[in-house]
Chains A and B, each alone.
Chain A
Amino acid sequence: MSTNWALKIESLGKIHGIPDLRSLEDTGPEKGTAKSALTGSIVAAWDVSFEVAPGEALGVIGESGSGKSTVMRCIAGDQGSTTGAVRLRTVHDGHMNVLDLDPSSRRHLRVADLSVVYQDPAEGLRLNVTAGGNIAEALTAAGWRHFGRIRDRAAELLDRTEVPLSRMDDLVGTFSGGMRQRVQLAKALANEPPVILLDEPTTGLDASIAAGVLDLIRNLLEETGVAAVVVSHDFAVIEMLTTRCVVMNHGRIVESGLTDRLLEDPHHPYSQKLVGAARA
C-alpha cells in the first residue's frame, strides 16, 4: 500500500540566502525562528517529506510564515529548491527527481502531470482572457487542436465547476472572487492531471462563497481520484478536505497524522497551540 503514491516528496529544503547548512543549527521550531542569526539566511523549508496516494488528499497546515506555501511552490516549480526530491508517478514511474529537470521540461509538467490552484486567481488565470479562453489555453498546451472540441470540453469543465455557461465568453477579470476560483478549478482539471496542489483555495472569499467552493472541491476530489495536496491555515478547510495532514512550523514538519487525530489529540506543543486557537 505504501508504494502506491502519485506524488512523493523527499527531504525537500529551501534556504533563502547563502545555502549554508549552519543555518539549520539556529532555526526551526525549537529555536522559534526560520531566520538564522549565524548566516543571515532564511530556512523557509527543511527536511519536508510526505507522499500522497491517488484519490487521497493530504493537508499542509501552519500559520503564515510556517513554510507551507514555500513547499507548495517548490513542488509546483514556481520556486527553486535547495535540496531534496519531488517524484511524480507519471514521470519515469517516479524514478526521476523532477527537480533535476531543465526549466522547460519542468514547465511542461504543468500541462498534464501536475496542476495548481492558487489563492489568488490572477496567478493561475489570465484575467484579460475569457473563461473559455483560459481553459482553451490549457487544452491547446496539451495538443488539442479542433476548435469545436475545445469549446465543448471547456463548456463541460465550466459546467462541472458550476460556472454559468452564459459567462463562458466573458473576461475572467469581470468575475467575482468565487467565480474566478471555479474557473481556476476548471482549468486545473482540464487535462485530468493525476496530482493537484491547492494553495489556500478558499481564503479571502466570503464565508458563504467559500463554503460553496469548498463543497465543489470536495466533490471534485472524490469524483476524479486525483491525488491532492491542500495547503491552508484553516483547520475547517483541512478537516473538510483531507484524511491526513502535516503540521508545519518555522519551516519544518513538527507532526503528521490522520486529520481527525491531529485535531482531537495533537501531540506537538505547536500543534496543540494551533488547535487550541482554532477551537477558541
Chain B
Amino acid sequence: MNPNNFILSCQGLSKSFTLHTIDGRHVEALRGIDIEIHPGEHVALAGSSGAGKSSLLKCIYRTYEPTSGSVFLRLRNGENVDLTQVSDQEMAFYRGRDIGYVSQFLRAEPRRGPLDIVTRAGVSRGMDRETAREAAVVSLRRLNIDEKLWDVHASVLSGGEKQRINLAAGTISAPQLLLLDEPVSALDPNNREAALDLIGDLTSHGVAVLAVFHDLEAMERLASRIVLMRNGQVEMNGTPEDVLKVLAEGVPS
C-alpha cells in the first residue's frame, strides 16, 4: 500500500463549540485527530459515546465546521483538496459525488417513495435518469425493500425500511469516501446481513469507508483497521484483532 495514496487524510483536526446561549461555554469535541484512509480500506471508529466518533464524521463532511486542522480528500479526478478550505458551494458539489454520508436517520422526505428518493440521489450525483433508476432498482432489491412499497411515501415506512432506503440513496453511486454513522442500527438480522454485505462490496470496489457501528460484530466483519477514540482523541489505531482485544479487556475509564 502506497502511503501517499490516501483517499482521506485528517491532520490535527480539532473542533470546539462555543455555546453562546449557555454563558459562552466552550466544549471540545475533537482534539487534534490524525487519521488516514486508503482506497478499499474500511476503518471503523470505536469508543464510548461522547468520544467524538460522530463529531469526526460531521467535521469531515462539514456538517460541523472544524476549528483547526485539515481534511485532505482525493477527488475522483485525482485532485487533492483540503475540505476545510473549499467554499460552501464547492463542498456542496463534492458531497454525494466524492464523499457520501449515511446517517442513522432518513432526512425528512414526506411525499416521496423509496424508488423516487434513491433515483433522485443518483441524478443529483450526475447519473442520467435511466441509469439512476436501474441502479435504484438493483439496490432496493438487494436491501430487501418490498417492491409493493417502492412508491409508498417514505414517511409511513418503518424505521428499518427508512434506514435501508437511506443506505441505498447514499451508496447509489460509489463515492471516493463513504462516511457511515450507525447505518444498520435499526435492522433485524437478515436485513442487517444484506446491508453489511453491500457495504463490504463497496470496500472491495475501492471505496474508502469510515464507519461508526454500535456492535463489535459488524466491526470485526468489515473493518480492515479500527481506530479507538477517547475524549476527542485517537487512543489506539490498529488491526481489528489488536483493538478488539483491548476493547474486550475493557477500556479503563
A212 interfacial by beta-carbon distance below 8 Å? yes
Q: Which of B56-64, B189-197, B206-214, B216-224 contacts A (4 or more CB under 8 A)?
A: B56-64
Query: Within B99-132, which residues are at the interface with A (CB < 8 Å)?
Result: 108, 110-112, 120, 124
Q: Are A261 and B92 in contact (CB under 8 A)?
A: no
Tell me which residues across on chain B come within 8 A of A258, comparing CB atoms.
Answer: 62-63, 88, 91-92
Complex-state Cα separation, A273 to B90, whole angstroms:
28
A222 interfacial by beta-carbon distance below 8 Å? yes
B36 interfacial by beta-carbon distance below 8 Å? no
Tell me which residues across on chain A come within 8 A of B111, comparing CB atoms.
Answer: 211-212, 215
Q: Which of B13-21, B138-146, B238-246 contacts A (4 or more CB under 8 A)?
A: B13-21
Q: Are A2 and B65 in contact (CB under 8 A)?
A: no
Complex-state Cα separation, A222 to B117, whole angstroms:
13
Given A240-B108, A272-B19, A272-B21: A265 in contact with B92 (beta carbons within 8 A): no
Question: Taking CB as reference atom, which chain B residue is nearest A4?
Answer: B89
Most buried by B among A2, A239, A265, A269: A265
B77 interfacial by beta-carbon distance below 8 Å? no
Tell me which residues across on chain B come within 8 A of A269, comparing CB atoms.
Answer: 20-21
B2 interfacial by beta-carbon distance below 8 Å? no
Q: Are A1 and B62 in contact (CB under 8 A)?
A: no
B87 interfacial by beta-carbon distance below 8 Å? yes
Tell me which residues across on chain A come within 8 A of B91, comparing CB atoms.
Answer: 258
Complex-state Cα separation, A181 to B216, whole angstroms:
52
A110 interfacial by beta-carbon distance below 8 Å? no
A134 smallest CB distance to B (angstroms): 26
Number of interface residues of B (CB under 8 A): 23
Question: Taking CB as reference atom, which chain B residue is nearest A264?
Answer: B63
Tell me which residues across on chain A come within 8 A of B65, comparing CB atoms.
Answer: 257, 261, 265, 267
Query: Within A205-250, which residues are at the interface with B (CB < 8 Å)?
Result: 211-212, 215, 222, 236, 239-240, 243-244
A260 interfacial by beta-carbon distance below 8 Å? yes
- The answer, among B64, B89, B90, B108, for a CB contact under 8 Å with A265, is B64
A264 smallest CB distance to B (angstroms): 5
A13 smallest CB distance to B (angstroms): 23
Complex-state Cα separation, A272 to B64, whole angstroms:
14
Tell me which residues across on chain A come within 8 A of B124, comparing CB atoms.
Answer: 222
A53 interfacial by beta-carbon distance below 8 Å? yes
Complex-state Cα separation, A272 to B211, whole angstroms:
29
Complex-state Cα separation, A260 to B61, whole angstroms:
10
- The answer, among B21, B64, B120, for a CB contact under 8 Å with A276, is B21
A145 smallest CB distance to B (angstroms): 35
Question: Taking CB as reference atom, which chain B residue is nearest A211?
Answer: B110
Q: Are B108 and A244 in contact (CB under 8 A)?
A: no
Tell me which residues across on chain A come within 8 A of B89, comparing CB atoms.
Answer: 1-2, 53, 56, 244
| A-B residue pairs in contact (CB < 8 Å), sample of 25 | A1-B90, A2-B89, A53-B89, A211-B111, A212-B111, A215-B110, A215-B111, A222-B120, A222-B124, A236-B108, A239-B108, A243-B92, A257-B88, A258-B88, A258-B92, A261-B63, A261-B64, A264-B58, A264-B63, A265-B65, A267-B18, A269-B21, A272-B21, A273-B20, A273-B21
Given contacts A2-B89, A257-B88, 13 further A-B contacts (CB under 8 A): A1-B90, A211-B110, A215-B112, A222-B120, A222-B124, A244-B88, A256-B88, A261-B65, A264-B64, A265-B63, A268-B20, A269-B20, A272-B19
Q: Interface on A for B, CB 8 Å cutoff?
A: 1-2, 53, 56, 211-212, 215, 222, 236, 239-240, 243-244, 256-258, 260-261, 264-265, 267-269, 272-273, 276
